[in-house]
């Protein structure tokens, strides 16, 4: 199979602080290598902090804020996961509207891990089939979707994967998806039942949490300052 070329295609990566680093940086590198122009779109300007599971990682620069970016400028959307990133995005009305616009125009949307939380809050999942991090399986089902425990699921203009372990098939699929011309119609429900819940959490995550080092004194002091500031702000609000 010849390599997919994305020359002339523009992709928006919607992310906020707390994105899972590999779920943003690796797809962005692959898309740019294929010729796509990629913008990092966020709820604020400057640079946003990545995460390696629960540990802070390096930052990436924001290209445009949601006030500056328009879905009409782009041929596709990517929403990476992480524990914090989609939680922040789903609380932003501008982020929800940004995502809905891609779906209304039947443009490609790709997401993985906890990223589909944003799709839930944007109201895009009734009748759809997708996958996501197994821990949010019930959120997908309760939002009206069929959740499949598979490395990759495509439903029309929507491509999803479970997490970093599925990046290889995810990268191949999103390049093909972004190469397609919109509109890409929804396929709709292609499975009658969701996959069952997992019986145990992923051993790799449990193991990582068990052996993470203690936070540094600097980190502990920073957390203390932030907590004190939040408490004072709450007290003033009352």
Active site residues: 113-114
Identify the three-state secondary structure at position 216. coil
With tokens 């994305």, the residue in question is 6
Nearest to 20 by CA among 166, 124, 207: 166
- Give 182's DSSP letter: S
- Sequential DSSP letters for 51-65: EETTEEEEEEE-SEE
Residue (of 174, 148, 152, 149) closest to 161 by Cα position = 152
Q: Are 125 and 155 in contact (CB under 8 A)?
A: no
Burial letters for 153-187: b for 16+ Cβ neighbours within 10 Å, e otherwise?
Answer: bbbbbbbbbbbbebbeebbebbbebbbeeeebebe
How far apart, in Å, are the Cα atoms of 28 and each of 86, 100, 110?
18, 22, 12
Candidates 81, 171, 152, 156; CA nearest to 124 is 156
């Amino acid at each position: 199979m010849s390599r997919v070329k994305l020359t002339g295609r523009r992709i928006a990566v919607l992310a906020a602080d707390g994105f899972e680093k590999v779920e943003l940086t690796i797809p962005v590198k692959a898309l740019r290598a294929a010729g796509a122009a990629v913008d990092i779109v966020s709820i604020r300007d400057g640079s946003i902090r990545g995460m390696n599971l629960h540990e802070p990682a390096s930052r990436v620069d924001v290209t445009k804020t949601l006030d500056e970016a328009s879905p009409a400028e782009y041929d596709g959307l990517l929403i990476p996961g992480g524990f914090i990133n989609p939680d922040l995005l789903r609380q932003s009305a501008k982020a929800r509207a940004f995502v809905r616009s891609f779906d209304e125009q039947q443009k490609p949307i790709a997401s993985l891990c906890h990223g589909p939380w944003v799709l839930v809050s944007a109201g895009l999942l009734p009748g759809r089939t997708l996958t996501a991090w197994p821990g949010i399986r019930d959120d997908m089902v309760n939002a009206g979707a069929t959740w499949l425990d598979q490395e990759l699921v495509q439903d029309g203009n929507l491509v999803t994967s479970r997490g970093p372990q599925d990046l290889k098939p995810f990268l191949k699929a999103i390049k093909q998806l972004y190469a397609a011309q919109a509109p890409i119609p929804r396929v709709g429900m292609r499975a009658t039942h969701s996959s069952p819940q997992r019986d145990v959490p992923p051993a790799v995550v449990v193991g990582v949490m068990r052996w993470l080092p203690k936070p540094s004194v600097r980190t502990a002091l920073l957390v203390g300052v932030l907590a004190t500031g939040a408490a004072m702000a709450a007290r003033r609000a009352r």
